[in-house]
């Protein structure tokens, strides 16, 4: 490893950086929020975009998909580049590209131009997402690291969950173009603030880029996305779709073999030799999967079963991000004092209880009870994300913070996609089984079929969280009942 100074030093030794550390976190968090928001904010605008650009529904889905796909393909690469060129340097370039992509997307007078803008946006977003956790871990002292990472985790989750609500307001008040343009003035202000407060990189790891690994991993992600998208439209029992998914699995195996043998891999597989890191990554993936089961099912339940308006349904679902925003910083601060293990275990038990409760809702469930369960999901997620992020990042050497942060962000995005795919596949497969024919939506006059299938989804989601709780409970016992680990 080499540093940009003649003598090795840390950001904790620099008084100027420490005085500005919370301003630095604000810059990082605002771009984190915008980049995650733009993964979900577009969904609500797709009908209007499709109408204005004369697009079929299948084509319009690419406006969302290309953003997530580019992020997943490139995020490990930019994590590695962050370690080599400097995490703050890569982050700054990412902010500029994200703003430029937002501007182009807003001017998307043709489908091709809109997709190009979304690609540039995703390029910038992947650069910021891959390095935000690493920057915070590098700058904040151990006593405040949990709180800082907790705040980043909060903004990640808020961006992911609040997208449809914010997008609906913007589209109804202005037009779909402004869901992209709104990023430009905010982004410019934050970027200028970043120029003033973000320090120069101190640490750069020597090495070369892993071109083979980048290509093989990109093929895995592209084939995985293609298989999942086609499977949702045509069913997973189609031989060609199954073949695409099997081929994606083959590329994943090849990628892991290539990375294991490389001296300077894009993905440091040795990170997973640390059980704290591996368990944290696995549980983070599964919790995001479970949360997005709720995100995709809840609008159907509240609007079609409880007959709530879209506005009231949105307000009810906002209990999730609101409670998360309140709890996550507190949980992060508490993890600095008592350790991360016991908090993640308690959080998972709350999530299990909430998911089981959701698994027994019906058409006459009291609104207050539904709201309580949604709030519990927010509390459990807020309790979990901050300590888990702190646990993951605190077990990693400084020279690999960018790589670890990019793995964390990749797993988060894959968890979102997996949750949506898992929930819709299980829901419609179950409904089709009960109805006796292929179902891809609610059946008018038969709410009981939807409720039966919804129960299966939420109970399966509760089972996933329970698996995480058992794994985390074993880790808790072995670590000495939640004693704080010593960070890298």
Give pLDDT tens digits for 358-407. 999 988 899 999 999 999 998 998 888 878 877 777 777 766 666 677 77
- The CATH number given to 271-488 is 1.20.1250.20
Q: 264 falls in which pLDDT band (50, 70, 90)?
A: confident
The burial of 432, by beta-carbon neighbours within 10 Å (0-12 exposed, 13-18 middle, 19 or more buried), is given as middle
Question: What distance in Å separates the CA atoms of residue 254 and residue 77, rounded to the nearest whole number?
Answer: 17
Angle at 71 between CA 192 and CA 384, to 5 degrees: 85
Q: Is the dihedral of CA 313, 344, 465, 372 positive or negative?
A: negative
Percent of the chain scoring above 90 in pLDDT? 16
Highest mean pLDDT among 168-182, 324-338, 356-370, 464-478: 356-370
Q: State residue 6's pLDDT score.
A: 45
Cβ of 261: how many Cβ atoms within 10 Å? 9
Return the CA Rg of the chain: 22
Q: State residue 210's pLDDT score.
A: 74
Q: Mean pLDDT for the chain?
A: 80
pLDDT in tens, 47-76: 678 778 887 655 666 787 788 888 888 888
More confident residue, 389 or 483: 389
Helix residue ranges per DSSP H, 13-141: 15-19, 21-37, 46-53, 57-85, 87-106, 111-129, 132-139
Is residue 2 predicted with pLDDT exceeding 50?
no
Is residue 3 predicted with pLDDT exceeding 50?
no
Domain boundaries, the chain: 1-209, 271-488
Percent of the chain scoring above 70 in pLDDT? 85
Q: State residue 47's pLDDT score.
A: 67
- Distances from the Cα of 383 to the Cαs of 141, 161, 238, 378, in angstroms? 21, 16, 41, 8
Same fold, 1-209 and 271-488: yes
Q: What is the largest CA-CA distance in the chain?
A: 74
From the list 429, 355, 398, 4, the residue with the least C-alpha distance to 202 is: 4
Cβ of 364: how many Cβ atoms within 10 Å? 7
Q: State residue 120's pLDDT score.
A: 94
Assign domain 1-209 to its CATH superfamily: MFS general substrate transporter like domains (1.20.1250.20)
Average pLDDT over residues 165-178: 75
The burial of 306, by beta-carbon neighbours within 10 Å (0-12 exposed, 13-18 middle, 19 or more buried), is given as middle
- Distances from the Cα of 423 to the Cαs of 202, 234, 279, 456, in angstroms? 44, 16, 23, 9
Q: State residue 310's pLDDT score.
A: 61
Average pLDDT over residues 77-91: 85
Question: What distance in Å separates the CA atoms of residue 334 and residue 329, rounded to the nearest whole number?
Answer: 9
pTM value is 0.74
Cβ of 233: how many Cβ atoms within 10 Å? 12
Phi, psi of 204 (to 5 degrees): -135, 125
Is residue 487 predicted with pLDDT exceeding 50?
no
Q: State residue 371's pLDDT score.
A: 92
């Amino acid at each position: 490893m080499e540093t940009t100074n003649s003598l090795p030093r840390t950001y904790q030794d620099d008084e100027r950086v420490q005085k500005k550390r919370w301003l630095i976190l604000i810059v990082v968090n605002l771009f984190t929020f915008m980049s995650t928001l733009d993964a979900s904010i577009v969904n609500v605008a797709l009908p209007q975009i499709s109408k204005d650009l004369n697009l079929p529904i299948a084509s319009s889905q690419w406006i969302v998909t290309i953003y997530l796909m580019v992020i997943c393909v490139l995020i490990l690469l930019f994590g590695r580049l962050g370690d080599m060129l400097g995490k703050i340097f890569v982050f700054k370039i990412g902010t500029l590209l994200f703003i430029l992509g937002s501007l182009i997307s807003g001017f998307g007078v043709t489908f091709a131009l809109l997709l190009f803008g979304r690609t540039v946006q995703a390029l910038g977003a992947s650069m910021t997402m891959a390095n935000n956790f690493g920057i915070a871990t590098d700058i904040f002292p151990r006593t405040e690291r949990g709180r800082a990472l907790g705040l980043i985790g909060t903004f990640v989750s808020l961006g992911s969950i609040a997208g449809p609500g914010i997008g609906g307001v913007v589209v109804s008040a202005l037009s779909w173009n402004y869901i992209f343009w709104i990023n430009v003035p905010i982004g410019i202000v934050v970027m200028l603030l970043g120029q003033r407060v973000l320090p120069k990189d101190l640490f750069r790891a020597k090495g070369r880029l892993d071109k083979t690994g980048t290509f093989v991993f990109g093929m895995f992600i592209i084939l995985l996305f293609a298989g999942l998208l086609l499977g949702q439209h045509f069913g997973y029992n189609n031989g060609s779709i199954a073949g695409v998914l099997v081929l994606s699995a083959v590329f994943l195996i090849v990628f892991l073999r290539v990375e294991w043998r490389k001296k300077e891999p894009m993905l440091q597989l040795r990170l997973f030799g640390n059980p704290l890191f591996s368990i944290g990554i696995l549980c983070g993936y599964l919790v995001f999967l479970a949360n997005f089961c709720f995100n995709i099912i809840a609008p159907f339940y509240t609007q079609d079963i409880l007959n709530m308006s879209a506005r009231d349904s949105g307000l009810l679902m906002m209990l999730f991000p609101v409670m998360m925003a309140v709890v996550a910083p507190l949980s992060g601060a508490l993890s600095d004092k008592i350790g991360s293990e016991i908090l993640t275990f308690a959080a998972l038990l709350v999530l299990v209880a909430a998911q089981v409760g959701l698994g027994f809702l019906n058409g006459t469930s009291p609104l207050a009870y539904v709201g309580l369960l949604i709030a519990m999901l927010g509390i459990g997620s807020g309790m979990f994300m901050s300590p888990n992020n702190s646990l993951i990042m605190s077990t990693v050497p400084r020279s690999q913070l960018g790589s670890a942060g990019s793995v964390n962000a990749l797993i988060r995005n894959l968890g979102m996609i997996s949750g949506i795919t898992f929930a819709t596949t299980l829901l419609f497969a179950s409904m089709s089984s009960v109805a006796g024919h292929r179902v891809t939506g609610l059946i008018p006059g038969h709410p009981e079929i939807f409720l039966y299938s919804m129960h299966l989804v939420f109970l399966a989601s509760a089972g996933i969280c329970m698996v995480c709780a058992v794994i985390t409970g074993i880790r808790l016992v072995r670590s000495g009942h939640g004693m704080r680990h010593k960070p890298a």
